[in-house]
């Protein structure tokens, strides 16, 4: 296991400053977009659910920034920041949440279940732990095709570590020694279930040894640490070090979804260091380090708020899917599709 080092002194020209500021800007965009989505949900503009990444932006953005174009990313529910940093557009996000027919899922699936597999971003299914084996398959296929140097990140939460899929896929990746980085965002609650009801080991990162993979642990409220550890884990995987298990310690600063008030989260946990808002921590550090002036931060906020507003305004004018235009076919092989013929009553 690789322990995180104490934060180094930074100055205005250090590479970490640039990464930190870039990370902060994506986190800011993600937070503003999340807030807007929550507002649209409360205004009845979004069907289904809205699931926010509040409190997990630092970890998520670090993943997105550690990856390069051509890598594979299987984000989970609370990875808006990482998705944006990896290359997802605000329009893709808003279109999927609002069910626009122009979005990548065309109204067939919504909210967090979006992706563009051809561009390396997998659309999650709801069954936790199920995406990791798919990432494994992409990585194995690339190796078979002779393509080297790409990495795959699969994101899960503490709850998913209890599934058979999690175990099977991590074990599989270890056997094949795939360049997989499996990130566990331990946000302390799987929906309402606290850690002690989810696992009995001291720390989830302890499991790395059992799988024969490298383990990393990090403070998910600290952007600098997230950037450093994720970059390290991705580098090791890319260089042939086999699967990396990254366990981030943090707290979900919202409900499971916007329908959930998270009343089960104990005050003591909220008030602990885990309960720090990573965005505020990052902002305070930027100002404390004098990396930029407050006015610049405020300008970033205004710009990003504007970006979000414009995207929402645009998507709100876009059509939803038309059931009469929908082909209602599931197969890629047209001549094998039965279509709707067996259901004449529709």
Partner 1 sequence: MSVTYLEAIREAQARALRQDPRVFIYGQDVGVFGGAFKATKNLAREFPGRVIDAPISEDAIVGLAVGAAIEGMRPVVEIQFADFSSVGFNQIVNQAATLYWRTQVPCPITIRLPSGGTSGSGPFHSQSLESVYSHYPGLVVMTPATVEDAYGMLLEAIAIDDPVIFCEHKLLYYHLKAEQLPTEALPAGRARIARAGRDLTIVAYSAMVHESLAAAEELVSEGYQVEVVDLRSVKPLDTDTVMASVARTGRLLCVGESWPWGGVSAEVIARVASEGYDLLDAPPQRLNAKDTPVPFHPHLWAAHRPTARSVTNAARKLLRS
Among residues 108, 259, 280, 294, which is the contact residue for partner 1, using CB under 8 A? Answer: 108
Task: Report the half-sphere exposure of 142 (CA within 13 A, side-chain side).
Answer: 19
Q: How many helices (H) and strands (E) does the chain have?
A: 11, 7
Compute φ and ψ for 185, nearest 5 degrees.
Answer: -85, 95
Q: What SS3 class is residue 129?
A: coil
Task: Report the half-sphere exposure of 52 (CA within 13 A, side-chain side).
Answer: 27
The answer to whether residue 137 forms part of the interface with partner 1 (CB under 8 A) is: yes
CB of 113: closest distance to partner 1 in angstroms?
7
C-beta of 13 vs 342, nearer to partner 1 = 342
The answer to whether residue 333 forms part of the interface with partner 1 (CB under 8 A) is: yes
CB of 51: closest distance to partner 1 in angstroms?
18
CB of 3: closest distance to partner 1 in angstroms?
30
Among residues 66, 67, 105, 233, which is the contact residue for partner 1, using CB under 8 A? Answer: 105
Q: 271-310 mask for partner 1 (x: CB under 8 A)?
A: ----------------------------------------
Please state, as a whole number, how many other Cβ atoms lie within 10 Å of the Cβ of residue 29: 25
Q: Whose CA is closest to 54, among 37, 42, 67?
A: 37
CA gap 210, 171 in Å, rounded: 9
CB of 241: closest distance to partner 1 in angstroms?
20
The answer to whether residue 172 forms part of the interface with partner 1 (CB under 8 A) is: yes
Q: What SS3 class is residue 247?
A: strand
C-beta of 34 vs 109, nearer to partner 1 = 109
Measured CA distances, 42 to 78, 240, 257 (Å):
19, 47, 12
CA gap 174, 176 in Å, rounded: 5
Only segment of 28-36, 48-56, 160-168, 208-216 that touches partner 1 (CB under 8 A): 160-168
Interface residue list for partner 1 (CB under 8 A):
104-105, 108-109, 113, 115-118, 122-123, 125-127, 130-142, 144-145, 164-165, 168-169, 171-172, 175, 329-333, 335-338, 341-342, 344
């Amino acid at each position: 296991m690789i322990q995180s080092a104490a934060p180094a002194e930074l100055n205005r020209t250090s590479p970490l400053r640039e990464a930190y500021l870039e990370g902060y800007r994506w986190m800011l965009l993600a937070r503003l977009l999340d807030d807007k989505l929550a507002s649209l949900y409360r205004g009845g503009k979004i069907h289904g659910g809205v699931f926010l990444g509040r409190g997990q932006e630092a970890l998520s953005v670090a993943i997105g920034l550690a990856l390069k174009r051509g890598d594979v990313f299987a984000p989970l529910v609370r990875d808006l920041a990482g998705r944006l940093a990896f290359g997802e557009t605000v329009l893709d996000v808003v279109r999927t949440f609002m069910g626009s027919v122009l979005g990548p899922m065309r109204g067939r699936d919504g909210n967090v279940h979006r992706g563009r597999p051809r561009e390396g971003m997998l659309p999650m299914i709801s069954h936790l732990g199920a995406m990791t084996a798919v990432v494994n398959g992409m990585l194995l296929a690339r190796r078979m095709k002779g393509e080297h140097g790409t990495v795959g990140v699969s994101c899960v939460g503490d709850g998913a570590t209890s599934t058979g899929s999690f175990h099977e896929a991590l074990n599989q990746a270890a056997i094949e020694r795939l360049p997989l980085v499996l990130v566990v965002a331990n946000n302390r609650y799987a929906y309402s279930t606290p850690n002690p009801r989810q696992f009995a080991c001291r720390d989830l990162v302890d499991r790395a040894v059992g799988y024969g993979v490298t383990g990393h642990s990090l403070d998910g409220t600290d952007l600098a640490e997230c950037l450093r550890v994720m970059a390290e884990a991705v580098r090791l995987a890319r260089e042939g070090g086999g699967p990396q298990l990254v366990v981030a310690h943090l707290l979900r600063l919202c409900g499971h979804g916007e329908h959930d008030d998270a009343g089960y989260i104990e005050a003591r946990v909220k008030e602990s260091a885990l309960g720090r808002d990573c965005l505020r921590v990052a902002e305070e550090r930027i100002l404390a380090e004098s990396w930029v002036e407050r006015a610049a931060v405020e300008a970033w906020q205004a710009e990003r708020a504007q970006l979000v507003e414009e995207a929402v305004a645009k998507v709100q004018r876009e059509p939803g899917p038309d059931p009469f235009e929908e082909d209602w076919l599931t197969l890629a092989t047209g001549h094998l599709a039965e279509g709707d013929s067996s259901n004449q009553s529709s």
